[in-house]
Amino acid sequence: MLVHVPDVLNATELGYCRERLAHAEWKDGKRTAGFQSAQVKKNGQLAEDDALAVELGALILAALARNMTFFAAALPRTIYPPLFNRYSDGENFGMHIDNAIRYDRRQQPALPIRTDLSATLFLADPGAYDGGELVVEDTYGTHSVKLPAGDLVLYPGSSLHQVTPVTRGTRVASFFWLQSLVRSEAQRRQLFELDVAIQALTARVPGAPELVSLTGVYHNLLRAWADV
């Protein structure tokens, strides 16, 4: 399931991230790739312990914490600290699959995180660069994603995906992984669809008696399926 989460960052936050990243110290992106992925990865990336990455990562985590769509779709248990990458001059990231387990080495001992979901938060306006689409393959086909700045896409960490070559301009984004409270993608999808339906009914018919029952069903399913 791919989920578009709009307006994760507001205009002030987005402008601040762009201004700070314009002066960032970009490193070879292969440093954080697994052996197989490193063979097809050509981009720039901030080091995980870079002070700027830590600062902006905290800003993004705070923004995610107030976003109801993100929470409903991801049901996050643990979020890997956000990273930052840049593509320009034909750089790309060929077809690959993310590592099943990432270790957050900012924690001691290092915290293992199962990558149930991958996320890309777009920081550059789509008209500012050509190419740079995130292409995700899943059981429903191939999906090409290029979102407005400040918007995020969530997709299964088990998906084959790539970033196509950037042929004009510069693509800047944040990316991270997360371990969900609900391991099963199918179960997360059902909970998300139920949550969205409850929210829509609440907006259309406030106080509808069915809301109590539907909310109860949601929480009982979450109670049964949660991996805690």
Model pLDDT for residues 60-105, shown as the tens digit of each residue: 999 999 999 999 999 999 999 999 999 999 999 999 999 999 999 8
Residue 164 has pLDDT above 90, yes or no: yes
**pLDDT class for 24, splitting at 50, 70, 90?**
very high
- Over residues 157-186, mean pLDDT: 97
Where do runs of H (alpha helix) occur along the chain?
A: 11-21, 35-38, 51-65, 68-74, 185-204, 210-225
Closest to 145 measured CA to CA, from 169, 115, 175? 175
Residue 106 has pLDDT above 90, yes or no: no
Closest to 227 measured CA to CA, from 73, 61, 116? 116
Give, in words, the CATH class of 185-225. Answer: few secondary structures
In the numeric block, which tokens belong to residue 37? 């992925």
Torsions phi, psi for 147 (to 5 deg): -100, 160
**How far is the C-alpha of 154 from the C-alpha of 138, rounded, in Å?**
13
Q: Please check whether residue 200 is in contact with residue 155, taking contact to mean a CB–CB distance below 8 angstroms.
A: no
What pLDDT was estimated at residue 60?
A: 98
What pLDDT was estimated at residue 35?
A: 67
Site of tokens 């008209």: 127
Tell me if the bond preceding 126 is cis, omega within 30° of 0.
Answer: no
Q: Can 3-180 and 185-225 be said to share one CATH topology?
A: no
Q: pLDDT digit string (tens) for 121-135?
A: 999 999 999 999 999
> Which architecture does CATH list for 3-180?
Sandwich (2.60)
Q: pLDDT digit string (tens) for 189-200?
A: 999 999 999 999
Query: Residues with Cβ < 8 Å from 193, sequence gap 6 or more?
Result: none
Q: Please check whether residue 52 is in contact with residue 20, taking contact to mean a CB–CB distance below 8 angstroms.
A: yes
What pLDDT was estimated at residue 33?
A: 65
Q: Please check whether residue 84 is in contact with residue 174, taking contact to mean a CB–CB distance below 8 angstroms.
A: yes
End-to-end CA distance of the chain: 22
* pTM summary value: 0.94
Q: pLDDT digit string (tens) for 196-227?
A: 999 999 999 999 999 999 999 999 999 999 99
Return the domain boundaries, the chain.
3-180, 185-225
